[in-house]
Every structure is written in C-alpha cells, then in structure tokens.
Amino acid sequence: MGAPQEHTQLPMPNGWFAIAMSRDLVRGTVKRARYFARELVAFRTREGALHVLDAYCPHLGAHLGEGGRVMGETIRCPFHGWQYAGDGACVHIPYSKKDPPAKARLKSWPVVERNGFVFVWHHDQDEAPTWSIPELPEFSDPRWTEARNLELTVPVHIQEMAENNCDPVHFRFVHGNLSSGESSVIPGDESHYFKAWTRSVQETALGRFETELERNTWGLGLVSVAIKGIGEAGLLMLAATSPVDHTTTHSRWLFTVTKDMADVAGEDFIAGLGQGVTQDMRIWKNKIHRAAPVLCEADTELAFFRKWVRQFYPSAVAPVRGVAAEARA
C-alpha cells in the first residue's frame, strides 16, 4: 500500500471580502448571506447606510435575513420585532417598557463599498482593518462600458483559486495559450498588495497577438486583470472572491472594456474569460491542497505567493519546498 494522500485544510483567511453587489442592496433591502462559515444579514437603511450583522437574534435565535425588515435606520427581527441598529445594539423592543438588555447585541462587521461590491472585514481576532480597498477609476469612467458580471461557487478553499494568479504556466496547459510566456512579480509598498505580469502569445478572433496580463492583487479577496496588446483595446476584469466556509468559495467577476473597442474585441474578451473559468473549474473541483508542494525552478511566483499569503492566516501556513522555494528564501 502507498503512503496516505496529504490533504491539509487551510484556516479561514483575514482581510476584506465581498458579500454582495451594491446594486442588490437598495434602500430598505435586507439580504441573507453566508461567509466565513457564519450566517450574516446585510441591510441598507432608509437613509442609505449599509450595515452587516451576525444573523441570529440574541432573543430566541431567529434569522434576521429571513423575514427581517428595515425600520428607519434599524433592522427588525421577524419573530418578536426586536430592532437592531447598525452597530448591532438592540434599540427597541415593542412590547417592553424597559430599555433593551445590554446583552441584546449582534456583531457588527466593518463595511465598505467599492467598485460595485459590498466588502466586509474578517479577522479571526476581531482586529480593526489595517488596509483599504482601492477605487478603480474604470468603473465610473464614461469611456468604459457598463460592467457585466459573472458569479460562481466553487468547492475549494479560497487560496486554491487565488494561486492561479501566480501560476503563469497553467495558462498554457489549461487555457491553451501558445506559450507560458515571461512572467514577473513586484511586491507593493504595503504587504497586502502585489503586482504581477505575464507576457504571452494568444490567438483571438482579431488575430495573433503578443499580450500582457497585468494582475493587481489586494489580499486574498480582490484581484484585477488587465489585458494589453490587443490593438488599442482597454480590457479589465475585477474578481472579488470570498470564503463561504473552509471548503467553499464564492466569486463575483466584473468585466468592462473601452467603448471604442467594445464591438471589436470586448465580446471576445468577456467570452474568453468566462470560458477560462470553466476550464479552471475542472482542476479546482478535483485537486487537493498540498501544504508543502514540491516546486521546480520555474515556480518562482508560486513560491512567492505561498510565503506572501501566510500573513492573512491566524497561524503560519506550512512552508513550500523545492528549487523555487529555496531560491526565494
């Protein structure tokens, strides 16, 4: 009999993660969500403030996302009408003359809205946010098309999806690029961010081009991919990816192109990236996590990523081993 297969379960990462699209939360809306292996409820008040709370009422445990409703600047429990403010405190019990009990409080999650997404800050020790999500100008620039979106749920840990951005070789074997191309990584001024490039040859409906994929990564929850080299087209994808639990990940993708190239290259760009997700899905669904993968000299970016990603976990992730890992040590 052979040795048992290694299969390590990664912890839940810290950082900013999307739990909804902004357009899905108009004023007065209540939305149920499940992320970080927890039930959440998001709501937008009548004045437009957006809040995310733990979902289960401290009173008798009703889920505020199932029948709860916005009452002014609060959310009302569907079971007995207890009302909670955005900071999680119960501020009104309709049938009680006394002030609500101090223990009647829900966890309130730090929230920001950027680029059409609603992000919450997750930290295993409930520490305050240490960095912010950038605003990308393309999504408000009238020269760019209105963003289209794609959503998918994948039965893997979020890191398995994130590693694709530092694995240029897989573009050749999984996505059919003519070569793996030349690739490089530049760490950012802040530890949560890095930029990477991959230059390769691609066949498109417009012909054969030497293209450059510019990838910007902020934590494990957000990455932008800009494709350059297909004529004068501006092509941008933004992926906001979030852990549902330790083995399930939800990803929301936005696609936009410059309007002057929308009819020429935009549709091919969007269709090609959508097809690429389908190709990756087969790998993701049928792989295990190698906590200490054996790498070769061509895996420099993967070795960089495995060291970089440790900062987002409550405890150190096992180191990589192999030629590339030793080269980066």
Q: How far apart are CA 285 and CA 299, in angstroms?
A: 22
What is the total residue count of the chain? 329
Domain 137-289 has CATH 3.90.380.10: yes
CATH architecture group of domain 15-122: 3-layer Sandwich (2.102)
- Model-level pTM? 0.88
pLDDT in tens, 171-214: 778 876 655 566 788 888 899 999 987 766 555 555 566 667 78
Mean pLDDT of 27-37: 98
Which of the four pLDDT bands, split at 50, 70 and 90, describes residue 233? Answer: low
Tokens of 241: 């990816």
Please give the pLDDT value at position 167.
84
Q: 36-40: long-range contacts at Cβ-Cβ below 8 A with a sequence spacing of 24 or more?
A: 36/12, 36/122, 36/243, 36/245, 37/12, 37/243, 37/244, 37/245, 37/246, 39/63, 39/65, 40/65, 40/109, 40/120
The boundaries of every CATH 3.90.380.10 domain in the chain are 137-289
Q: Residue 309 class from Cβ within 10 Å (0-12 exposed, 13-18 middle, 19+ buried)?
A: buried
Using one digit for the tens of pLDDT, what is the confidence trace for 41-58? Answer: 999 999 999 999 999 999
Average pLDDT over residues 21-25: 96
Distance CA 109, CA 38 (A): 12
In degrees rounded to 5, what are phi and psi of residue 311? -65, -20
Q: Where does the chain hold its CATH 2.102.10.10 domain(s)?
A: 15-122
DSSP β-ladder status, 15-21 and 30-35: unpaired
- pLDDT tens for 271-308 read 777 777 778 888 888 888 888 899 998 888 899 999 99
Would you say the C-alpha torsion 180, 310, 244, 107 has a positive or negative sign? negative
